[in-house]
Amino acid sequence: MSAAVYAALAKALGGGSGLLTGWVSMPDPLLAGLVAREDLDAVTLDMQHGMVTTASAVLGIGQVALAGKPSIVRIPVGDFATASRMLDAGASGIIAPMINTVEDARRLAAYTKYPPVGERSWGPAIALGMTGFTMTDYLKQANGLTVTLAMVETRESLAVLDGILAVDGIDGVFVGPSDLSIALSDGGEVNALAPGVSDALDHVLARCRSVGKAACAFATTAESARELRKRGYDLIALGNDTIQMRTGIRAMLGVAKG
């Protein structure tokens, strides 16, 4: 992976860029490479709800890099140390779930950014080899070339959204619409397309725009991804590998069975 590919996500993100990321939950690194060869801007490896392990994530980052794309890793809840490890392995971005307080956001930034912004420990051996940066250049540039996204998916995070966005080192937020629908309905439903979720998406976008940070979200359908791009979202996950596989199989079966 060239330095340009590594930096592509951070440089393109913002201003309603409408980037599309694949979303891989299965642990086979070859699948990540396969997805990366489609017309996507990035590939996200899911360590939270997916079966992606530390080892398969590291290998997946390499497969995505071979396809000439930047990778993003969604870490498990509260596992900020893994965020540092994935950046060391060459990931260009981190998505952290359940960032419900300003203190959560500060801890996330501490693990993903080098001083003076954060407290990320030095050890990017794989990232250095993949990008070709010298140690000095990587240290100077990594904070600006990697993207740290805090997930907004609860009433608590919506209530302190401005505080989360104000944290130095948080480059934007990523809306999880399914969890948000559960929270907004007080556990009544899982509906990523609920009116309350749509209103929250508008609110998040407006607050992000007001401070020049990235607004990102997961889309459960191609139609909702298109709508998020029209709204001006910067990064949208185009479903996940399971959704895409089922959609493709059903489409092919429909044709085959007439």
Domain ranges, ordered by start, for the chain = 3-256
Tokens of 86: 């994935």
Query: Exposed, middle or buried by CB within 10 Å (0-12, 13-18, 19+), for 212?
Result: exposed
CA distance 74 to 91: 10
Contacts of 154 (CB under 8 A, 6+ apart): 98, 100, 179, 180, 183
Tens of pLDDT, residue by residue, the chain (258 residues)? 789 999 999 999 999 999 999 999 999 999 999 999 999 999 999 999 999 999 999 999 999 999 999 999 999 999 999 999 999 999 999 999 999 999 999 999 999 999 999 999 999 999 999 999 999 999 999 999 999 999 999 999 999 999 999 999 999 999 999 999 999 999 999 999 999 999 999 999 999 999 999 999 999 999 999 999 999 999 999 999 999 999 999 999 999 998
Instruction: At 4, list the tokens.
Output: 């340009």
pLDDT, residue 2, reads: 85
233-247 b/e with 16+ CB inside 10 Å = b?
bbbbbbbbbebbeee
Mind telling me the catalytic residues?
A: 49
Rounded to two decimals, the pTM is 0.97
Cα 129 → chain centroid:
23
Q: Considering only the top CATH level, what class is 3-256?
A: alpha beta
